[in-house]
Every structure is written in structure tokens, then in C-alpha cells.
Structure 1
């Protein structure tokens, strides 16, 4: 499935901001699109003031690097490090929210993109700490519980004010007292299930990823909520795609056929791209959305762009970043004054955006 233009542009921005500048040919290789496509995207972003164009190069419009003798005073201050996983469009929106607050406060932001390999964050964090950053905003990938547990101890000893974005560490862990901001994913699943039950659906499936803290939270929430709803006759949890688990299995997954076996009339999909792919699979099986199967996406990054715009749970991605950046600024201000405010573990509520992929089903 071809990547939506808005998603591709977010990835271009993230790469350019992390490197300072990037050649259009390199961007085309990274994104697996033509140079012409990248050039068109970069021109549009430059017109919006989000990038600067050079000959065959795209440059960041963010504050210049420390050490430039011509830089204004704000650019020579210690930076705040902002770290998100590679190719994670959901968290790129969170990143932009954080940057907007930090830039408004006159902070220099050093953006770092963590590669898709186990343990990628630790060496990057150690590197930015060696550069004497003032604080850290981070959204670790944490594909498995074991990876998450392995990061608790060293991240707790970062030595600078740190705020976790869209992550909720295990209760009682070394990171329990670290500031964090995330979406209330239990409530997001509640919104989706309640919407479908209200439309008469009694056989509902959650097809979710299983390679992130968000995915694990959604699976646990769905099982708890579905079990507690007497209206639901049958429910199941399954992978949303063949490569959606930590094992990265690449075998084809006929999700539409599995829904048929469960006689499901509705499905909740994490995330948007897998939901859009399911709609295509259902069409290939002669099933219509929403007439034969209602579909709710979870993420709402590109859910509205399908030929059938998808009803979606929309986490406050941008606001999660803004709130996390606000917490970090508060911690940095405390370093210059007396007293320490209590740790905050903030949860922001998502909303349900009803579009064309869900409808009533006759209750038999």
C-alpha cells in the first residue's frame, strides 16, 4: 500500500530535523519513492515555512547548532534532547507538539531518531548526555516487556530532567517516579467498544499489534472491557498483520478470513494502515464496509484518507507532546529555584471520530 502524502511529509521533516539537512536523493532512497516526489514534497514544505530548500538539499528551519559564532544567544544554550523511534508517524505528531512548546520557550531542540533495532535508545541517550543536554523527552520503542524492563535502570539514572512521552512504566518500577504523559488507552478502547455495542454489534474482534507498550495496553483493555460487557456474545484478540508482533513474521495473514471464522460483525484495528488494509481484504472477499463489517481504526493518523473514511479512536498525539514539554520546562525551572514539585503521571483522554466505516447491525 502506497504511503499517504501527509505521512511521507512527516517522515521527511523528521529526517531533515534530525540531521540538520539531507540530500533529496537520500530522502528518496529512505522513503522508497522517486526524487521527483520528494522534490515536490520539499517544495511544498518550504512554501509552508517548515523547511529551507537548497540545490538538491533540504535544510531544517530549527535553531542552528551550538558553537556557530554567528548564532543568536538562544542557539548557544544547552539543548533539550527529543528522542522518538524511526518510522513512527504516530509519535512524530507527538514530537511536533513537544517542539512547538520548546521553541516558544526559546529552547534549542536536538532531535534524535532511534533506529528500529533492540537497545537503540541507550547509546543515543548516552551520547546526548555527553553533549551536556539540559533535559530529555523520550518515547522508547519498547517492542517487548523484556526490552522495557531492561531500560528502566539506566534511564532512571539519566541525571537530567526526563519526561516519558506516550509511555506508562510498570507500577513500582525504577521509572514509576519519573514524569510521564500518555493517552488513556483503556478509555480509547472503551469508546470504540461502546460505539459498536450501541450500533448492535455483538461479535467484535480486536486485531492489534503486539510490539509496543500501546499495543499491549490496547489488548489488555479490550479483553477486560469485552469480558465485562454482557451484550458481547463473542470476542477475540488477534494480530493485525503478519509483521505486527515482536517476532517480525513476514508470512501472509488473511485477517478477513479469520474474521469470517469468528462471524464477527465488527473489528477494531491497531493501527490505521492495518485497518485500511483490512478494508481492502474484505472487499477482495466480497464483503462491504460497513454493511457487512464495521471497522474502527485506532491511531487516527491516516484513517480519514481511505476510500471509505474510517471511524477512528484519535489519541491527543500533539497535546501529549505539548504537555510533556511543559512538564520538562517546569523541571528545568526548578533547577534554578528552591523546592521540587511532585512527580506527574498525566493521562490525556482520546476521542472517537465517527466516519463512514461503522453502521448499525440488526440484532437477531
Structure 2
């Protein structure tokens, strides 16, 4: 199924803003579309003033960053200027637009404080963050903002020892270490995803929906938290009559009791449950489900209401999606401010009290949800 044009162009912008520039051929490979398609998108985005074109290269239209970057092996981006012991290293997974928004929030706070940023992009391989952190510390990074790619509990456990041994201030972004682990006493700033899940359920229940399908894409910390929250809320809510939980894509990873479904399977799951609503994490899968429902004569929201979880591109669909939005930029900003407190605070025998900060998501109601009618379902 073809990706919506607006969504593809948002992904192009996210890739450019994350690294400053990219080759057209690389964008085509990442997006799995033709070079001609990318060139057409780039021309339109350049016409709108949202990026700048070069000879085979696309550059961000944002003001030049204070940390000129150069590509390094493994997808890392690092400042070209010599380290001065004043930099903060930020480590985020590649191709993760959610955390790139958190990065922009962190950048505003760090630059306002006069801190230079060393951005490191971790590739899609287990344990990729550790060598990047070691290189950043060797370059003289004064502190760290980290979002490790913990798809499973085993991934988190593999990082425990070296993270716990860090000798510079470090704050986790959108990562909530397992209670009782050695990382439980590490500074972190997260979205309260259970609150976000409840926002979605209460919105749908308030519209009269009683049978709901929930789906998450990746076996990530956010996905695991959401699955647990949706299961508990649906089980305990007096107005939810039936619910099903699933993984929404074949590449979603090990699911245990959860199935990895295609949009067609999700449609079958909706029909089997006689559900009138679905909540999907994240936006892309929600938009794809809407298209598949339309192909099968199911109207959104007349026959089925859909809520997306993330709200990065949810509002760009042919039917703009009602969505829960974690406070992505605010998470980055709050994490940077906490790190600055650690860097500027006194160093001595009294250890600072560890802080675990949770910020509340918001719900934006758009055209994909409506009250149940006699013809729904």
C-alpha cells in the first residue's frame, strides 16, 4: 500500500533536520521509493521554503546549527570543532522522528545555556550506543542525554552495567528503567504513557464505543508500556465490553500473546470483535489502517473511529486523525534542564536526589472519531 504523499514529505523533512543534509539517493533508499519520487517531493518542499536543494544533495532550511556536523562511521554525527569539555553528547536511535523532536527540545535548552551539542545517531544494531558514548567521553563530553534502543528487557539488561558506571552526569529520555534494576536510580524524563492510553480510552468510551481493538507497532519501551496500560484499563473499565490487543505490523518483533498483523488482519480482527473503534501506536499504521478500511467499504469515522498514538503526522491524513500526543519536545527540554542542573551543581560528598520526571500527553480531537450511531459496527 502506497504511503501518503504528505507523510512521505514529513519523513524527508525529519531526516534532513536530524542530520542537516542528505543525498537524494540515500533518501530514496531509506523511504523505499524511486529517486524520481524523492526529487519531485524535494522540489515541492524547496518551493515551499522548507528545505534547500543542491546538486544531488538536500539541506535543511533551518538556521545553521552551532555544531557543524560531519558524517562518521556507524551513522554518528559529531562536531567538527575540537572538543572543549563543555559539550553535551546526545545519543538517539537513527530513523526515529519521535526522538528527533525530543532532540530539538533539548537543543533549545542547551544552546540557551551556552552548551555545545555533540549529536550521535545509533544504528539499528544491539549495543550500538555504548561505543558512541565511549567516543563522546573520550572527546571530552561533560554530560549525556541518552535514549537507548531498548526493544526488549534483555536489551535494557545488557546496558545496565556500563550505564551505571558512567562518571559524568547522564539523563535518560523516554526511557523508564525497570523497577529494581541498577538503572532505576538514574535520572530520567518520560511521557506518562499510561495517562495517554487512558485519554484515548476515555475519549472513545465517552462517544459510546464499547468494543475496541488496540495495536502497537514495535516492541519498544513505549509499546510495552502502552500494551500493559491498554490491557489494564480495558479490563478494569466498567464500560468496555470487549477488547483485543495486537501488534500492528509483521516486523513488530516477538509478541508473546500478541499477534503481528498486517492492516488486512487488523481489519479482520475488528470485524471478529465487532469493534467500533481502534487505537494504534503509531501514526503511520493508523493512517494505513484508515486506507485499508476504506478499501473494504468501512468509513472512518462513520463506521469505525480511529485514534493514533504519537501525533507526529496523524493530522496529515485524508481523514485527519484524532491523536494522543506525548510531549516530545518538552521531554527533551526537561531532560536537558535536569542535566544542566547536574552539570552546574556542586560536586562533592552529597549525591543529588535522583529525579524521575513524567510529563502528561494531550489529546487532539480531529475527524477520525465520532459518537456511535445505530449503523456503526
> Shared fold by TM > 0.5?
yes
Q: Mean Cα displacement is larger for which, 304-313 or 205-214?
A: 205-214
Output the TM-score relative to the length of structure 1: 0.88
Output the TM-score relative to the length of structure 2: 0.85
Structure 1 residues 246 and 137 mapped into 2: Cα distance closer, same or farther (>3 Å)?
farther
Is 1:299 matched up with 2:303?
no
> Which residue is 2:207 aligned to?
199
Q: C-alpha separation between the residues in 2 aligned to 1:302 and 1:327? A: 29
Q: C-alpha separation between the residues in 2 aligned to 1:285 and 1:205? A: 17
> Which residue is 2:132 aligned to?
124
> Which residue is 1:315 aligned to?
326
Q: Is the 8 A contact 1:268 1:296 kept in 2?
A: yes
Q: Is the 8 A contact 1:164 1:324 kept in 2?
A: yes
Give per-residue Cα distances to partners, 1:268-305, cap 9 Å, x unaligned.
Answer: 10000000011011111111011111100000000000
Q: Is the 8 A contact 1:163 1:179 kept in 2?
A: yes
SS state at 1:352 partner? strand
Aligned residues: 351
- The aligned runs of 1:135-146 (5 Å cut-off) are 135-146=143-154
Q: Is the 8 A contact 1:334 1:340 kept in 2?
A: no
> Which residue is 2:301 aligned to?
290
- How many angstroms does 1:258 deviate by? 1.4
**Structure 1 residue corresponding to 2:179, chosen from 161, 164, 171:** 171
Q: C-alpha separation between the residues in 2 aligned to 1:67 and 1:61? A: 12
Q: Is the 8 A contact 2:248 2:262 kept in 1?
A: no
Is 1:352 matched up with 2:355?
no
Q: Is the 8 A contact 2:89 2:144 kept in 1?
A: yes
- How many angstroms does 1:40 deviate by? 3.7
Q: C-alpha separation between the residues in 2 aligned to 1:327 and 1:37? A: 42
> Which residue is 1:228 aligned to?
236
Structure 1 residues 184 and 344 mapped into 2: Cα distance closer, same or farther (>3 Å)?
same
Q: Is the 8 A contact 1:182 1:320 kept in 2?
A: yes
CA RMSD of aligned residues (A): 2.7
> Which residue is 2:168 aligned to?
160
Q: Is the 8 A contact 2:67 2:80 kept in 1?
A: no
- Could you tell me which runs of 5 or more consecutive residues in structure 1 were left unpaired when the two chains were aligned: 70-74
Q: C-alpha separation between the residues in 2 aligned to 1:337 and 1:23? A: 48
Q: C-alpha separation between the residues in 2 aligned to 1:176 and 1:338? A: 21
- How many angstroms does 1:55 deviate by? 5.7
SS state at 2:224 partner? helix
- How many angstroms does 1:183 deviate by? 0.5
